[in-house]
Amino acid sequence: MKKFLILYLLLVVGVTSLFASKNKGLHPLIQNLDARTTQLLDGQWRYLVDPYENGYYNYRKHRHSQNGYWMDQKNEAPGDDYEYNFDLEKTLKVPGDWNTQDDKLFWYEGNIWYRQKFTSTVEADKRYFVYFGAVNYQTNVFLNTRELGMHEGGFTSFNFEITKDLKDGENTLMLKVDNRRFPEAVPTDNTDWFNYGGITRSVHVLEVPETFVRDYFIQLDPANPSNISGWIQLDGSKAAQKVEISIPELKMRHAVNTDENGYASFSFKARPVRWSPANPKLYDISIMAETDDLKDQIGFRTIETKGKKILLNGEELFSRGISIHEEAPFRSGRAWSKADAQNLLGMAKDLGCNFVRLAHYPHNETMVKEAERMGLLVWSEIPVYWTIHWNNEATLQNARNQLEEMISRDKNRTNIIIWSISNETPVSDARNHFLKTLAEDTKRLDPTRLVAMAMEVQNLGDNMRTIDDPLANYLDVLSFNQYIGWYVGQPELIDKTNWSFKHDKPVFISEMGAGALQGYHADVNQRWSEEYQANLYERSIQMLQRMDGLAGVTPWVLMDFRSPRRPLPVVKDGFNRKGLYSDQAIPKKAFFVLQKWYKEIEDAKK
């Protein structure tokens, strides 16, 4: 139970008091949006492009005192002189990125103001919050002309309390959204995916009782898996009260009393059916306080390592996986909906996967929940990617904050078994300190899962390769990206390559692959052909089967996705073509190579 107490101390205090970056005014994240009374604000929002930030600063670069765009004014009297009028502006669909909704905005990086008017009925004994699934990248939020605060980070959820600001009747919500890339950010200014800007996930107004169940963590105790353990956190003036946790199918009812801070931990014996890819069992759970009640569906499982093995529920697990970007099939653009999730995850299931790496940032909550229902294990990561500013303390705090926000939202999703802290980062003393801090944070924030990062490969000579990264000592698996036959040599080199590892830990290939233009057929030696990609996969599988301790793979990548780094006409046209599916969800030849291997692995277990 001590580990759960540590988790409580780190999570219930809230993001504003822990790893603060530029965030301000935020309320600790509210758990389980789906179970709340909400008003959905999705739909058409007015927008105004503001590349010079004229709506926020005056010509001296001082913040406007009363003439900012958030005042939502317009010229009505003869002497009025306002430079804007949202009523006359066009609209963008929310959720959605602005790049794929207006051709003029496709390459735009900068500030856009959003406005949405909505009507609410306010009750005196309730509290209200505005909740954002994600906004990329820096967001200033205003309600009825008052600035609520700011959030930094394009892929995590955040919320503000608006109880004192929400009107009974019409309200005006304004956002200043800035998706500009800069070196000190997380991710930094150089990535291999498209920088979709905008309000990319849903927006809700939440209504809760004055004292409500804000957060909770319910899972098998990793130190004693015959017990279900966790904690409850209430939020409000009546903090000390009785709370009952109920699991009707297990005929379990357990009562606790929260303290003056609204917190209570618990532990009770139970024998639930374990969640697994073959049987993704979820239990209806009720949390009933005196002033609030909440329902969720939660599965129970254990995950651990033993030597070179990953054990799920005590049994050896081989992760037949694939990496996925949060990009919508068919239409392109940022994925966000249940249909998007079902399409992407259905493609992974057709491949034969039991595991998905959601790269290179936290995906939307619907994606994680649909994966859980479909029996897909998940690797979830934060966008500490490539050339982060390792010596910048603000960058570290930003990364720590995004890590906390990721874990805070998804800690009750049983299918997540790996939290990942970075991808392809070059070794240095500053980098080692930065990532060691994140690894230690992850273990404190959540002791029930494994910690990983996608490392880089070292060449020992004589076609022998290894992982020689000091961070490996702080991780649970040896996970790394390898591109032999694509970025390193020709495919024939794969046949000669062997691997040696000094750590007694499971080996996990977080990326491998090659690019291919769907429909382009040629000799196996012709780059960008489907035959080249399929040949590389065939050779790579043979190499992997020689690898001691291999516990899983997530090849790169499920589907072609947009990237400004890939401008080559005809072949790429702005897409990374390493997908096993095209961006129109058409499988390439390599898809069937990997599918065949995954079926052989699955059949061998029967």
Task: Say if strands 450-454 and 416-423 run parallel, antiparallel, or are unpaired.
Answer: parallel
- By the 8 A CB rule, do 407 and 448 touch? no
pLDDT at 217 over 50: yes
Residues carrying CATH 2.60.120.260, the chain: 2-209
Residue 277 CA, chain-centre distance (Å), reads 20
Instruction: Give pLDDT, residue 15.
Output: 37
- By the 8 A CB rule, do 52 and 113 touch? no
Residues carrying CATH 2.60.40.10, the chain: 212-304
Q: Which amino acid does the sequence have at 463?
A: N
CATH architecture, range 313-605? Alpha-Beta Barrel (3.20)
Measured between alpha carbons, how far is residue 305 from residues 314, 441, 451, 604 in Å?
Answer: 9, 19, 11, 22
pLDDT at 121 over 50: yes
Average confidence (pLDDT) over 493-512: 97
Instruction: Give pLDDT, residue 5.
Output: 52
User: For residues 17 and 139, which has the higher predicted lDDT (pLDDT)?
Assistant: 139
- Separation of alpha carbons 22 and 216, rounded Å: 26
pLDDT at 28 over 70: yes
- Separation of alpha carbons 365 and 336, rounded Å: 9
Range in 4-8, 200-204, 336-340 the model is least confident about? 4-8
pLDDT tens, residue by residue, 505-552: 999 999 999 999 999 999 999 999 999 999 999 999 999 999 999 999
Average confidence (pLDDT) over 128-141: 98
Range in 58-72, 79-93, 555-569 the model is least confident about? 58-72
pLDDT at 363 over 50: yes
pLDDT > 90: what percent of the chain? 94
What is the pTM assigned to this prediction?
A: 0.96
Instruction: Give pLDDT, residue 11.
Output: 47
User: Mean pLDDT in the chain?
Assistant: 95
Confidence band for 297, pLDDT divided at 50, 70 and 90: very high
Instruction: Give pLDDT, residue 549.
Output: 97
> What are phi and psi for residue 582, nearest 5 degrees?
-70, 175
Q: Compute the Cα dihedral for 481, 484, 485, 486 and give only its sign.
A: positive
Instruction: Give pLDDT, residue 4.
Output: 52
pLDDT tens, residue by residue, 36-50: 999 999 999 999 999
Across 12-88, the runs of DSSP E, i.e. the strands, are 37-40, 43-49
pLDDT at 13 over 70: no
Q: Show Cβ contacts of residue 496 under 8 Å, excluding neighbours closer than 6 positions.
A: 463
pLDDT at 51 over 90: yes
pLDDT at 8 over 80: no
pLDDT at 9 over 70: no
Residues carrying CATH 3.20.20.80, the chain: 313-605
pLDDT at 6 over 80: no
Neighbour-count burial of 520, counting CB atoms closer than 10 A to its CB (0-12 exposed, 13-18 middle, 19+ buried): middle
Which residue shows structure tokens 């929940």?
A: 369
> How is the beta sheet containing 91-94 ordered, strand by strand?
91-94, 43-49, 111-120, 169-178, 138-143, 146-152
pLDDT at 1 over 60: no
Confidence band for 67, pLDDT divided at 50, 70 and 90: confident
Q: Beta partners for 263?
A: 233
- By the 8 A CB rule, do 334 and 324 touch? no
Average confidence (pLDDT) over 474-499: 98
Confidence band for 66, pLDDT divided at 50, 70 and 90: confident
- What is the CATH number assigned to the segment(s) 212-304? 2.60.40.10
- By the 8 A CB rule, do 420 and 381 touch? yes
Total residue count of the chain as it appears in this document: 606
pLDDT at 417 over 70: yes
- By the 8 A CB rule, do 14 and 27 touch? yes
- By the 8 A CB rule, do 376 and 356 touch? yes
Average confidence (pLDDT) over 553-581: 97
Q: Which amino acid does the sequence have at 197?
A: G
Domain 2-209 sits in CATH 2.40.40.20: no
pLDDT tens, residue by residue, 276-289: 999 999 999 999 99
User: For residues 369 and 63, which has the higher predicted lDDT (pLDDT)?
Assistant: 369
Neighbour-count burial of 545, counting CB atoms closer than 10 A to its CB (0-12 exposed, 13-18 middle, 19+ buried): exposed
DSSP 596: H
> What are phi and psi for residue 340, nearest 5 degrees?
-60, -45
